[in-house]
Amino acid sequence: MKMTEPATPHDAGVVVVDHPLVQHKLTLMRERQTATSAFRQLARELSMLLGYEAMRDLPLEPVEIDTPLERMEARRLAGKKLCLVSILRAGNGILDGLLDLVPSARIGHVGLYRDPETLEPVEYYLKLPDDVGNRICLVVDPMLATGHSAVAAIDRLKQAGCNRMVFVCLLASPEGVACLRRAHPDVRIVTCAIDRGLDEHGYIRPGLGDAGDRLFGTK
């Protein structure tokens, strides 16, 4: 996939995927009149496309196989299966597309909500595979807005022993990117776009609205 220069051009840890299909589908998601069912399907399709880039560096190992014509040395994924960690609740909306790519991946959940006054994350749930520290984790949330929830989730994963992570989101703000990169410079960010910035309520502008509400039809 062709890549744009990220909004932080000297930061190799931020990847903006500008493939035409990605940008087209993102535009459809941004549209106010896009129905809930279409929004969900687009989120699934975009997460799959983002997954290709997020998984670019997965380790491989050689394996001997028999094709219909001859024996050969091929390559397959090495090590423990991936762990996909959803930041609840909206993160669940982009799990399916990633699972289409790696259906055997393990799943973890971090439950966080944003305090409407402080905009700080409050944890209410955590469930991870016992051996999460031995797995590469893709941490998923549709929006990287203030960055506080992403930082809190990755803090908890590191406490659990995980040290190989990629953060995958549909949209990011410059403030969110800066916050996450400052707290966890070892975690690569893969996104469709970095928008203009945040408003006084912590929403990404121009954005696509509240991803959770649009995914689940709650507003």
Catalytic residues: 114, 118, 210, 213
77 assigned binding-site residue:
no
Say how far apart CA 191 and CA 181 lie, in whole Å.
14
173 assigned binding-site residue:
no
Say how far apart CA 132 and CA 134 lie, in whole Å.
5
210 assigned binding-site residue:
yes
211 assigned binding-site residue:
yes
Beta strand 121-127 with 188-194 is: unpaired
201 assigned binding-site residue:
no
Torsion of CA 20, 26, 31, 36, to 10 degrees: 130
206 assigned binding-site residue:
no
Comparing CA positions, the residue from 161, 111, 157, 152 lying closest to residue 138 is 157
37 assigned binding-site residue:
no
11 assigned binding-site residue:
no
Long-range contacts of 3-9 (CB under 8 A, 24+ apart): 3/53, 6/177, 6/194, 7/174, 7/177, 7/194, 8/174, 8/177, 8/178, 8/181
67 assigned binding-site residue:
no
149 assigned binding-site residue:
yes
27 assigned binding-site residue:
no
13 assigned binding-site residue:
no
* Residues placed in the known binding site: 89, 114, 141-149, 204, 209-211
* Residues placed in the known binding site for 5-phospho-alpha-D-ribose 1-diphosphate: 89, 114, 141-149, 210
* Residues placed in the known binding site for uracil: 204, 209-211
